[in-house]
Amino acid sequence: NAGVTQTPKFQVLKTGQSMTLQCAQDMNHNSMYWYRQDPGMGLRLIYYSASEGTTDKGEVPNGYNVSRLNKREFSLRLESAAPSQTSVYFCASRPGQFNEKLFFGSGTQLSVL
């Protein structure tokens, strides 16, 4: 049982390049999330998906797009990367009951030069 799998673990981009962060969970969870973690700013929600086929903006959605391809997968796309998007990105999931804990992926460390 792999849990939440994120790829890649590390990535360096140049300003203006695009990339997609992949996330998959094998726990049959309904809800999936993308957060970014920056020093002193905690975890900030980028986008979330309460169920397959739905996505909603979080606190900091600008510059990102997401796709809930199916129940397992939730990808995050940076269309034109900017240095301000340098961060550690975490994917997470939970069953969908509002009081259940999150299961986190191992994170993607992204640097935009």
Partner 1 sequence: AQSVSQHNHHVILSEAASLELGCNYSYGGTVNLFWYVQYPGQHLQLLLKYFSGDPLVKGIKGFEAEFIKSKFSFNLRKPSVQWSDTAEYFCAVNARGNEKLTFGTGTRLTIIP
Amino acid in position 7: T
Q: Does 106 bind partner 1 (CB under 8 A)?
A: yes
Instruction: Find the binding residues for partner 1 in span 46-85 (CB under 8 A).
Output: 48, 50, 56, 58-59
Residue 40 binding partner 1, by CB under 8 A = yes
Q: Considering the rule CB under 8 A, would residue 102 count as an interface residue with partner 1?
A: yes
Shortest approach of partner 1 to residue 111 CB, angstroms?
A: 18
Nearest of 28, 13, 30 to residue 77 by alpha carbon: 13
| Angstrom distances, CA of residue 17 to CA of 85, 91, 104, 107 | 12, 21, 26, 20
Q: Least CB distance from residue 103 to partner 1, whole Å?
A: 9
Task: Report the nearest approach of partner 1 to the CB of residue 39 (Å).
Answer: 9
If we measure between CA atoms, which residue out of 50, 55, 76, 57 comes closest to residue 65? 76
Nearer to partner 1, 58 or 63 (CB): 58
Query: How far is 39 from 99, CA to CA, in rounded Å?
Result: 27
> How far is the C-alpha of 45 from the C-alpha of 5, rounded, in Å?
18
What number of chain residues touch partner 1 (CB under 8 A)? Answer: 24
14 binds partner 1 (CB under 8 A): no
